Structure 1
Amino acid sequence: MSRARLESLLLPVWSVLVRLRRVFRTRTDVGIFLLLVFVATVLWYLTKLSHEYTVDIRHDVRLAGHPKGALLVGEPSRQVWLRLRGRGHTLLEFKTFSSGQPFKLDMEGDEYTRRSPERGVLSRTQMAALFGPQLPSGLVLESVLTDSIVCEFSPLDRRLLPVRAQLTYSLAPQHVAVRPMEVVPDSIWVQGPKAELEQLDSLLTVAVDLGELRSSFDSLVALEPLPADLDMEAREVSVRMPISEFTQKEMDVEVRAVGVPDSLGVDLLPRTVRVRCAVHLARYQRLGPKDLDLFCEFSPYAVDGRYIVQVGRLPEGVFGVEITPSVVGSIVTSRY
């Protein structure tokens, strides 16, 4: 850029500065001038705030509660447009702090029209009657600009759902679970919208890793939370799993034949077999041959008169039975 061009651009700015210098001889004069401008602006603004205005304002509405036998679907908040009349300072205060003071609509009341069990509508007339008294003093509700507020409902229902435990663990060597894991209660009532309940088939506990267990487990475990619209009768369940240390025991046990006709006699060969089983330490000394039920099911079609040795009901604390030999022969005789 040429020097002449630069001087032509700076000349107007310099002229303004020279004129201001002639008006304000000192910095004090400038400060007084700015103070007077500020005071005049504040007085003008306050004067304007004292005037009455009519403005359109958007305001929040909070839906609370639910009608008997139904539950509100979706967000419990709505927004409406209102035409308000009032002084400037009242309108400014309402608009500034309105977000923390929403209108309240009690869904258990009769302020709205129930078009059907699944639908409710709040008309302009109903909104005016409901929202007008909730306005702060000094404001007049000229009209409600929003056409209506529509509320969707879902019928309430109850279902008894089973509880499933999400617990992982491992057993220490020579340890065994005496009984399967027990959950108390094993089912819980859940209440909520029918549509949401139909999507559930069970309730789950929170996932917990118990690590290696050497003793019985008995503790309260929380249930995984459900959506806010669903309500459970209980938030936690008791989970129990008895665990015991075990050892091996061997003994000779007699085998009996069952299902033999009265006209026949069956002698099993051998009559006793060697049994090896795992048994809880607490039951080791008390377990004897008579506590185990071994039998062979008689059949006239048995090949070569040989039968598989079967195990009946085992006493508590006994498992992992091994039988030697597992197949026995027989001699069948007639009683007549």
Structure 2
Amino acid sequence: MAIIKLSAIERRRLSVFVTCLIFAAFAWLFTSLSNTYKFSVKQVVTFRNLPQKRAFYPLQSDTVNAIVQGTGWQMIFSKMDYSKKSISIDLHTLESKNYVVIGSQLKQINARKDIDHEIIAVNPDTLYFDFSNRIIKKVPVELVTDIKYQKQFAQSDDILIKPRYVTISGPAEILAKIKTWKTDSIRAADINTDYNGRIALRPPKEGNLNIIPKAVSVNIPIDEFTEKTLEIPVKIINNRNYDRVKVFPQKVKVTFTTSLSRYPEINEDDFEAVADLDLWRQNGYNALPVKVTRLPSYSKVTKIQPGVIDFIIKK
């Protein structure tokens, strides 16, 4: 195979030619990308100035194709620039119409955008909406939690949520199905102190629902738990014939868990232990099992001694 041998002068000339060619290509590319082009990008639609007297439901997708005018450089980076951007549509005209023309708002849309690309058209240009009567309803907040407590710690009292109710407004047929409104999930691990924080409410999935407020304050009392034992008198229930019943023993030892903060104040008046006489009359029991039917909130019975009691029916 023939090998072309170049002299030193020819190699220098070839090097200069290739260098000039590369510079010319970069100059052409730079000039081309500096020119103005029209290109299409997808934009998410958000709404502002919602009508106060009419509930609405969009009849099209929440994205539109925006025709953008910008340089070639902007076209190259358009996906990156527009990935987290949206078009804000003013809905004040829906008080009297069932559609909004985006083209009539392009000046305001471009003025509100925080990038330099100018939107010159949108497809679809007109958004249509379905309407129904708008009503207002209050529903309780439903707290969503995923809390892992440290060993021997747990919730020790009722959770406080402020406000306890939220106000939602929207179509009557949708609000009729809503009984509560959930929060975002509170996540915590190995927790051993009270939780205090502000948690956001889940945003509506429907564009025609409005919720006030957007967040609530939450307090979850948390305390260390320990065991305590008290002697509780046993009460006979279902003594329909008013028989004279004597039980042995008359009191049972109830062991339960309680928070340290409430430990000193809990006494036998907070409990009720019962034995059901119907178990003897209907089932022939010779001894009656004892059940604790009342105890302080957030306490748990761990042991009853004895678990069954003897009894005598006096004639």
| Range moving further from structure 2, 194-203 or 210-219 | 194-203
Match of 2:199 in 1: 221
Amino acid in the other structure paired with 2:235:
R
Aligned pair partner of 2:56 in 71, 81, 90? 71
> Shift of the alpha carbon at 1:296?
1.1
Q: C-alpha separation between the residues in 1 aligned to 2:49 and 2:64?
A: 11
> Shift of the alpha carbon at 1:182?
4.6
Q: C-alpha separation between the residues in 2 aligned to 1:246 and 1:77?
A: 53
Distance 1:181 1:150, change over 3 A: closer
Structure number with greater Rg is: 1
Distance 1:107 1:333, change over 3 A: same
Amino acid in the other structure paired with 1:252:
E
Match of 2:308 in 1: 327
> Shift of the alpha carbon at 1:235?
0.4
Q: C-alpha separation between the residues in 2 aligned to 1:196 and 1:203?
A: 13
Amino acid in the other structure paired with 1:222:
A
1:107 and 2:93 matched: yes
Q: C-alpha separation between the residues in 2 aligned to 1:265 and 1:160?
A: 54
What is the CA deviation profile of residues 244-280 of structure 1, one whole-angstrom value per residue up to 9, with x for unaligned ones?
Answer: 2121122433323233356521111222222211122
Q: C-alpha separation between the residues in 1 aligned to 2:51 and 2:257?
A: 60
Percent identity over the alignment?
20
Amino acid in the other structure paired with 2:155:
A
1:257 and 2:268 matched: no
Match of 1:153 in 2: 130
Match of 2:190 in 1: 212
Distance 1:254 1:233, change over 3 A: same
Q: Do 1:67 and 1:108's aligned partners in 2 also have CA atoms closer than 8 Å?
A: no
The structure showing larger relative contact order (alpha-carbon pairs under 8 Å, at least 6 residues apart) is: 2
- Structure 1 runs not aligned, ≥5 long: 1-61, 80-103, 132-147
How many residues matched? Answer: 220
Q: C-alpha separation between the residues in 1 aligned to 2:195 and 2:216?
A: 13
> Shift of the alpha carbon at 1:206?
2.0
| Cα-Cα RMSD | 4.1
Match of 1:178 in 2: 156
What is the CA deviation profile of residues 152-197 of structure 1, one whole-angstrom value per residue up to 9, with x for unaligned ones?
Answer: 3322343444433232111112222123545444442222355765
Q: C-alpha separation between the residues in 2 aligned to 1:154 and 1:243?
A: 47
For residue 207 of structure 1, give the secondary structure of its aligned residue in structure 2: strand
Amino acid in the other structure paired with 2:238:
G
Match of 2:276 in 1: 297
- Structure 2 runs not aligned, ≥5 long: 1-46, 66-89, 106-124
Match of 1:280 in 2: 259
Amino acid in the other structure paired with 2:153:
H
Q: Do 2:54 and 2:95's aligned partners in 1 also have CA atoms closer than 8 Å?
A: no
Amino acid in the other structure paired with 2:253:
R
What is the CA deviation profile of residues 103-159 of structure 1, one whole-angstrom value per residue up to 9, with x for unaligned ones?
Answer: x9962677xxx6xxxx5699xxxx9xx99xxxxxxxxxxxxxxxx968433223434
Aligned pair partner of 1:311 in 280, 292, 302? 292
Distance 1:64 1:158, change over 3 A: closer
Q: Do 2:255 and 2:304's aligned partners in 1 also have CA atoms closer than 8 Å?
A: yes
Q: C-alpha separation between the residues in 2 aligned to 1:189 and 1:221?
A: 16
The TM-score, its normalising length taken from structure 2, stands at 0.56
Distance 1:206 1:279, change over 3 A: closer
Amino acid in the other structure paired with 2:130:
F
> Shift of the alpha carbon at 1:241?
1.9
1:191 and 2:177 matched: no
Distance 1:220 1:251, change over 3 A: same
> Shift of the alpha carbon at 1:222?
0.9
Distance 1:238 1:254, change over 3 A: same
Q: C-alpha separation between the residues in 2 aligned to 1:252 and 1:150?
A: 73
Q: C-alpha separation between the residues in 1 aligned to 2:150 and 2:308?
A: 34
Q: Do 2:239 and 2:277's aligned partners in 1 also have CA atoms closer than 8 Å?
A: yes
Q: C-alpha separation between the residues in 1 aligned to 2:64 and 2:274?
A: 75
Q: C-alpha separation between the residues in 2 aligned to 1:180 and 1:318?
A: 12
Q: Do 1:159 and 1:191's aligned partners in 2 also have CA atoms closer than 8 Å?
A: yes
Amino acid in the other structure paired with 1:292:
F
